[in-house]
Amino acid sequence: MRKIRVLHCLQRIDSGGVEQRRLSLVRGLDSSIYDQKIVCTSAVGGLPELIRSAGCEIIEVGEFEKVFDFKRVSAALDVVRSFKLDIIHGAVFEGVALAVTAGFLGRVPVIIGEETSDPQNRSWKGSLLYRFYSGFTHHMVAVSPATEEYLCSKIRLPRKKVTTIWSASRQSPLD
């Protein structure tokens, strides 16, 4: 049986919650079923080494120089094509943009986006661009009810396209 190939896309790996969630996925998803890699702009500090030691390759494509940086997208697209993905998963604005663009151009069967905050300070142009990118995802993940509300109300995604995940410290009201 062929493993399910997953590529996670982030802006940067250092020590934040988004990166910690990737480490949890790398450690938590059965490696006999899933083959995971990460594409990011840069990886610094100790967390990248923990991710690598858990068996996940990290590919750095360099810092974005503009909103749509063809050189970075092209590098990610090379990974998509060589890895023959089943799922591409982008987190936060830059990661979603990279996952959607490389995933769409590389014809990845499943494109997932993830928003990790309720971006109160995102400009209307940024929200419009995020709405555009989110429209190409098959599904979006929200990390809190406020984030879900942002995706459904401000970005105007259908609620059936958004799933809210709950941290271990908070129980879902459905439990």
pLDDT of residue 172: 43
Check if the beta carbon of residue 56 is closer than 8 Å to that of residue 21.
no
Query: What is the pTM assigned to this prediction?
Result: 0.89
Q: pLDDT of 4-13, one tens digit each?
A: 999 999 989 9
Q: Which domains does the chain possess?
A: 4-121 (3.40.50.2000)
| CB-based burial label for 168 (10 Å; 0-12, 13-18, 19+) | exposed
